[in-house]
Amino acid sequence: MGAMEWSGGQAERPGRGRRVLVVGGGIAGLGAAQRLRAHPAFSQLRVLEATARAGGRIRSERGFGGVLELGAHWIHGPSRGNPVFELAAEHRLLREKDLSEENQRMETGGHVGLPSVTYASSGVSVSRELVVETASLFHSLIDQAREFVRGAAAPAPSVGEYVRGALRALAAGWTDREDARRLRLALMHNFLNVECCVSGTHSMDLVALAPFGEYTVLPGLDCTFPGGYQGLTNHIMASLPEDMIIFNKPVKTIHWNGSFQEAASPGETFPVLVECEDGGCFPAHHVIVTVPLGFLKEHVDTFFEPPLPTEKADAIRKLGFGTNNKIFLEFEEPFWEPGCQHIQVVWEDMSPLEDVASQLQDVWFKKLIGFWVLPSFESVHVLCGFIAGLESEFMETLTDEEVLLSLTQVLRRVTGNARLPAPRSVLRSRWHSAPYTRGSYSYVAVGSTGEDIDRLARPLPEDGTEAQLQILFAGEATHRTFYSTTHGALLSGWREADRLIALQDPQAQLPGPQL
Ligand SMILES: Cc1cc2nc3c(=O)[nH]c(=O)nc-3n(C[C@H](O)[C@H](O)[C@H](O)COP(=O)(O)OP(=O)(O)OC[C@H]3O[C@@H](n4cnc5c(N)ncnc54)[C@H](O)[C@@H]3O)c2cc1C
């Protein structure tokens, strides 16, 4: 094993305390570090981050004359009680209207708002009436899918199979002409693809039905950060000593249940030793692991030594973690109407009731659900497309030119304008290829339950006979009801920091809220 690395510095305060390492500098890790830093028992604290930047899946980049969110986009459920909303409001990172009581009270049921316009692949726009009617039917089926959490036996293993089953029964009673019926089903297919983006999955057939309703939707009309989501993690960073986070420090293996020593602390033993890819080693009393579930899935057999208990390793394997990406297109002139916020794209040859076997390279772009018009860009005109699943992962392997060409052809086809000018440039996220993320966010997959989230979140060792709380687990995938979100991630970081504080200082008054 390599050199022991634990130097003093601003991050260290005088006096001996518990040595804590946080692995991962996303919002969960930063939140945990900020909370621990405020307690005197945790004077020796470091965050090890694999990449050159903090924020993880909160990633705002300047581009096309504005801010592009490559990761988290909206605050889901921005209302009092949502810690991300509260922090963002406190730091004045939101627009006035998003702070209003009226916005906070809005109940969206977690459904994506209606598109401003819907284009179909034959080059016509779909009637508003049909879109509204189909969306309302789809949303009611999703609402019903959430009800099985209340105890009624789930009639299908997955949300996808449940929705398709209900749809098949309904469609049998439709008396439309064949083309109208196809269009209805094509719209349904698009709404299922939207749901794949929401759940971060390839197919809703992979998302378990019975626990689907455990995910909790908070009130409030989803809102964005005009200056970028990363303003939030930058604020947390600014409250920490500069040398507390060590960048470009990927952790390779966490050795636990041991008795490690270092020359600089004679006589002291540490139960955990964190070994980095560059050979550096950090002995510690406690480690909070916040790496994404996608990373854990790939490295579950080597990241922990001794290996994880079978139940926890199985939970990591069973829970779902898929891909959702964004494709930003910059245009010289908008082809959309003023005030247009969201363009839906529907493929009339697609139906949730039929399986068509095709090569990814021929059809990947049909998974793209449409585009959001980015509002904060004044001189340039930018659309943000969303695409989930294997098609999204395939898109990551293409060149910018190939993506731009395919999407230009899509837009020309659906608008019926063969001369529509091509976008000036393209920029996209590639979350599946990112070695320290390997996808976008988690979901409860068929074959797993919410209990697996709790199993993942349980600290080690589990029996309590050894030194306690050697490894703690945080990150969005460890929050039973807010998984996949920034507020779930932040709350999970606070939860684990509070767990350590309570061990050291049972009298401590822990700050709320604990949703
Ligand atoms: C495209 C996209 C859109 C999204 N949209 C939204 C949205 O609109 N609203 C919302 O609430 N949420 C959204 N999310 C989800 C949200 O971004 C995440 O849930 C949240 O940011 C996760 O925070 P985290 O701290 O758990 O993980 P991360 O932010 O992933 O942080 C984990 C950190 O660990 C580091 N790491 C990994 N491996 C190692 C290692 N071996 N050693 C050291 N460090 C390591 C990583 O580099 C990373 O910085 C979106 C995510 C994506 C990808």
- Ligand 1 atom at shortest distance from the alpha carbon of 326: 1
In short, whether 374's Cβ falls inside 6 Å of ligand 1 is no
Whether residue 423 is preceded by a cis peptide bond, meaning omega within 30 degrees of 0, is no
- Give, using CA atoms, the residue closest to atom 20 of ligand 1: 486
In short, whether 392's Cβ falls inside 6 Å of ligand 1 is no
Compute how many other C-beta atoms are within 10 angstroms of the C-beta atom of residue 357: 5
For the record, the structure tokens of 103 come out as: 């916005």
Q: Three-class SS of residue 383? A: strand
Pocket test for ligand 1, best of 57, 254, 396 (most atoms within 8 A of CB): 57
In short, whether 76's Cβ falls inside 6 Å of ligand 1 is yes
**Looking up tokens 């969206």, which residue turns up?**
108
From ligand 1's centre to the CA of 427, what distance in Å? 19
Q: How far apart are CA 84 and CA 81, in angstroms?
A: 9
Nearest to 228 by CA among 62, 386, 403, 86: 62
In short, whether 295's Cβ falls inside 6 Å of ligand 1 is yes
Cα separation values, 330 from 197, 385, 410, Å: 22, 11, 15
Nearest to 18 by CA among 37, 32, 5, 2: 37
For the record, the structure tokens of 240 come out as: 């920490």
For the record, the structure tokens of 509 come out as: 């008054």
In short, whether 431's Cβ falls inside 6 Å of ligand 1 is yes
In short, whether 25's Cβ falls inside 6 Å of ligand 1 is yes
Judge whether 384 and 327 are in contact, CB under 8 Å.
yes
Judge whether 167 and 141 are in contact, CB under 8 Å.
yes
For the record, the structure tokens of 415 come out as: 């608008």
How many CA atoms are closer than 13 Å to the CA of 250, on its beta-carbon side? 10
From ligand 1's centre to the CA of 438, what distance in Å? 10
Query: Angle at Cα 282 formed by Cα 281 and Cα 285, nearest 5°?
Result: 145
The dihedral over CA atoms of 110, 112, 113, 118, expressed in degrees to the nearest 10, equals -160
Nearest to 283 by CA among 308, 265, 297: 265
Q: Is 287 left (phi over 0), alpha (psi -120 to 50) or beta?
A: beta
- Ligand 1 atom at shortest distance from the alpha carbon of 325: 1
DSSP secondary structure of 401-454: HHHHHHHHHHHHHHHT-TTPPPPSEEEE--TTT-TTT-SSEEE-BTT--HHHHH
pLDDT tens, residue order, the chain (515 aa): 566 776 655 555 544 689 999 999 999 999 999 999 999 999 899 999 999 999 999 999 999 989 999 999 999 999 999 999 999 999 999 999 999 999 999 999 999 999 999 999 999 999 999 999 999 999 999 999 999 998 889 999 999 999 999 999 999 999 999 999 999 999 999 999 999 999 999 999 999 999 999 999 999 999 999 999 999 999 999 999 999 999 999 999 999 999 999 998 899 999 999 999 999 999 999 999 999 999 999 999 999 999 999 999 999 999 999 999 999 999 999 999 999 999 999 999 999 999 888 899 999 999 999 999 998 666 789 999 999 999 999 999 999 999 999 999 999 999 999 999 999 999 999 999 999 999 999 999 999 999 999 999 999 999 877 889 999 999 999 999 999 999 999 999 999 999 999 999 888 877 765 55
- Ligand 1 atom at shortest distance from the alpha carbon of 439: 53
Cα separation values, 229 from 57, 69, 376, Å: 10, 7, 14
Is the full-model pTM beyond 0.95?
yes
In short, whether 322's Cβ falls inside 6 Å of ligand 1 is no
For the record, the structure tokens of 413 come out as: 């086809």
Q: Strands of 229-307 (E only): list them.
A: 245-246, 251-255, 272-276, 281-284, 286-289, 304-305
In short, whether 71's Cβ falls inside 6 Å of ligand 1 is yes
For the record, the structure tokens of 515 come out as: 């949703």
Q: How far apart are CA 508 and CA 359, in angstroms?
A: 59
